[in-house]
């Protein structure tokens, strides 16, 4: 990841986080976030995940992990184990994007520092999330 992104994330590593999830909770889609849970289940069952959801999925792992290194390890493990592009350059690039690779600095904020932030409000604005949640896997 770019040094600006890493330095920014490290400087916010001790920011207060509302939720912290273990790898097991993430793997089993046991979070408070129904959109994230659906994306995780989609990847586990089908080996795929909609591109925008994958970005959201990766960003939330950052938000819900104690350290940036822990978050990166969890995202790589889940992607490598369940995604069709696991252990592939494409998969690694997708994960790295969540951590600032191929992106630019944004306005600094808690937890994320200067890397791009994503939330459920953005999903709701762009997509029919009820339809996504109702999707049979």
- Mean of per-residue pLDDT scores for the chain: 97
The answer to the question of residue 4 being in a domain is no
Cβ-Cβ contacts under 8 Å for 21 (sequence gap 6 or more) = 30, 31, 64, 65
The answer to the question of residue 11 being in a domain is no
96-110 confidence digits (pLDDT tens): 999 999 999 999 999
The answer to the question of residue 23 being in a domain is no
Whether 86 shows a pLDDT value over 90: the answer reads yes
The answer to the question of residue 27 being in a domain is no
Whether 1 shows a pLDDT value over 90: the answer reads no
The answer to the question of residue 21 being in a domain is no
Supply angle C-alpha 122, 126, 132, rounded to 5: 100
Residue 48's domain comprises 37-102+118-134
16-68 confidence digits (pLDDT tens): 999 999 999 999 999 999 999 999 999 999 999 999 999 999 999 999 999 99
CATH number at residue 64: 1.10.579.10
The answer to the question of residue 82 being in a domain is yes
């Amino acid at each position: 990841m770019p040094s600006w992104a890493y330095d920014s994330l490290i400087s916010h590593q001790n920011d207060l986080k509302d939720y912290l999830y273990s790898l097991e909770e993430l793997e089993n889609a046991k979070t408070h976030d129904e959109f994230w849970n659906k994306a995780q289940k989609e990847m586990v069952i089908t080996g795929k995940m909609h591109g925008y959801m994958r970005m959201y999925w990766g960003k939330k792992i950052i938000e819900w992990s104690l350290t940036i290194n822990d978050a990166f390890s969890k995202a790589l493990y889940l992607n490598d184990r369940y995604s069709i592009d696991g252990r592939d350059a494409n998969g690694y690039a997708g994960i790295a994007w969540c951590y600032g690779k191929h992106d630019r600095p944004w306005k600094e904020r808690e937890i994320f520092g200067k890397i791009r932030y994503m939330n459920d409000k953005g999903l709701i604005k762009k997509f029919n999330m009820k339809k996504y949640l109702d999707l049979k896997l």
